[in-house]
């Protein structure tokens, strides 16, 4: 599975578990408007660390963080290069 598909599947899985209504996922969807709350994001990032072997949020320190779904995917893609 590509990083993109892994991330999108994980977002759907966490939203379903936490009973959140997910907005239609597109690259320019702001994460703040996705329907996920901070607990969902925390779970998502930990699941992705297990699935992809990296946690770019911890590695980023005070660097720039992703604001949209597309940036989130790029964030992981860059970390995996």
Partner 1 sequence: MTAAGGGRGRRVATRDFALELDRLSGASSLGEDPARLEGRAVLLAVGDMAKAAAALIELDGVARQIVLCPPGAGIDALVALARAAAADALVHDGDAPTPEIGVETRVACRLPLQPLSAPRAARFSTEWILPTSGTSGPPKLVAHTLATLTAAFHPVAGERWATFYDIRRYGGLQILLRALSGAEPLTLSDPNESVDAFLVRLGEAGATHISGTPSHWRKVLMSGEARKIAPQRVRLSGEIADDAVLAGLSALYPQARVEHAYASTEAGVAFVVSDGRAGFPASVVADDGEVALRVVDDVLRVRSNRAALRYVGADAPALKDADGFVDTGDVVARSGERYLFVGRRGGIINVGGAKVHPEEVEAALNAHRAVRASRVFARKSPITGALVAAEVVLRDGAAADEGMKRDILAACRAALPAHKAPSFVTFVAELPITDGGKLVRHG
Ordered alpha helix ranges (H), the chain: 3-17, 38-52, 56-60, 69-80
Interface with partner 1, residue 57, by CB under 8 A: yes
> By CB under 8 A, which span of 2-10, 25-33, 54-62, 68-76 interacts with partner 1?
54-62
Distances (CA, A) of 42 to 48, 61, 81: 10, 16, 23
Q: Which of residues 4-33 bind partner 1 (CB under 8 A)?
A: 17-18
Interface with partner 1, residue 80, by CB under 8 A: no
Least distance (Å) from partner 1 to the CB of residue 29? Answer: 18
Interface with partner 1, residue 46, by CB under 8 A: yes
């Amino acid at each position: 599975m590509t990083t993109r598909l892994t991330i999108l599947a994980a977002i759907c899985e966490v939203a379903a578990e936490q009973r959140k209504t997910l907005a239609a996922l597109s690259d320019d969807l702001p994460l703040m408007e996705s329907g996920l709350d901070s607990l969902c994001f925390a779970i998502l990032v930990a699941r992705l660390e297990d699935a992809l072997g990296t946690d770019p949020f911890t590695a980023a320190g005070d660097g720039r963080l992703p604001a949209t779904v597309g940036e989130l995917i790029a964030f992981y893609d860059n970390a995996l290069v």
